[in-house]
Amino acid sequence: MIAGHYATALVPEQAPTAPKLLFFLTASQLPDLVWFALTFLGLEPVHTHAGPAHLELIVTHDLLPTLPWLAVAAIAGRAFFGEWRSGWIAAALVAVHNAADLLSGYPHFVAGPDTQPLGFGLYYSAPHGAVAIEAAFAAAVLTWVVNRERQHGLTRSGMTWAGRALIFGVGIATSFATAPSLGDLPPNGTLPVSMAAGLLLLYSTQIAVLTWTESRPAVAAQVARTAAGVS
């Protein structure tokens, strides 16, 4: 799952400030961002078995190693915003990321390949199905977000909708078109550094775009109400 994770970052607050939105979006992708960063240091290699390579993201995606990342996210929220609420939200976003990956992504383990495997592993067995699940997941979350906006009379700007169409529409359609490559891993024991750099650039761009478009002012009933109150 890639784009689907971003949808979860839109849930905690209806109209977050741009810095908070940037923080929530980063938290929603923290396991992947750390994975790409660790690839440069050779600390999160693609562990190979006899037969096809399997992606075992032990440090960032296995169950027990996820726990310290929850703490990192919580402490970062407290440090950046001076309150624990943002930290708990960030920790929850990290947990939801790894849970969603088990639903639609690579299989992971409790703590390393000698422990209990977790997840459906659909990136290997049914990559198009995995992306279809991601599309359904993102659609469900976004429907909830949009319904909340409607209930509060919040009408989003064209720029916000353009960002949603780009990241969720084009993003998931692209994943669907390239789905077979998701399970087609390099056999040499690590994600190529060039691929990690490319993915880091892609994710950073997506986070920047959504931070910009989601924090555009809403053309809202609130605005009309404020104007009516003034006049």
Residues that bind Zn ion (CB under 5 A): 31-32, 101
Within 13 Å and on the Cβ side, how many CA atoms surround 105?
25
Name every residue whose Cβ is closer than 8 Å to that of residue 230 and which is 6 or more positions away in sequence.
none
In this complex, which beta carbon is closest to Zn ion, that of residue 32 or of residue 134?
Answer: 32
CB of 13 to Zn ion, least distance (A): 23
Minimum gap (Å) between residue 97 Cβ and Zn ion: 6
Q: How far is the CB of 43 from Zn ion (least distance, A)?
A: 16
The residue among 28 and 213 lying less far from Zn ion, judged by its C-beta, is 28
Look at strands 117-118 and 108-109 and give their pairing: antiparallel
Tell me the Cα Rg of the chain: 19
Closer CB to Zn ion, 31 or 163, in the complex: 31
Residue matched to tokens 């659609």: 139
* Buried-state track 60-83, b at ≥16 Cβ within 10 A, e below 16: bbbbebbeebbebbbebbbeebee
User: What percent of the residues of the chain are helix, what percent strand, and what percent coil, each to the nearest 5?
Assistant: 70, 0, 30
CB of 35 to Zn ion, least distance (A): 7
CB 130 within 8 A of CB 176: no
Q: CB 101 → Zn ion: shortest distance, Å?
A: 4
Query: Cβ 32 to Zn ion, closest distance in Å?
Result: 4
d(CA 25, CA 95): 13
Q: Answer yes or no: are the C-beta atoms of 139 and 169 closer than 8 Å.
A: no
Our CB check for Zn ion shows the closer of 31 and 215 to be 31
For residues 10 and 23, is the Cβ–Cβ distance under 8 A?
no
Q: How far is the CB of 213 from Zn ion (least distance, A)?
A: 23
Nearer to Zn ion, 11 or 30 (CB): 30
Cβ-based nearer residue to Zn ion, 32 or 214 = 32
The single-letter code of the amino acid at 15 is: A
With respect to Zn ion, which residue has the nearer C-beta, 31 or 107? 31
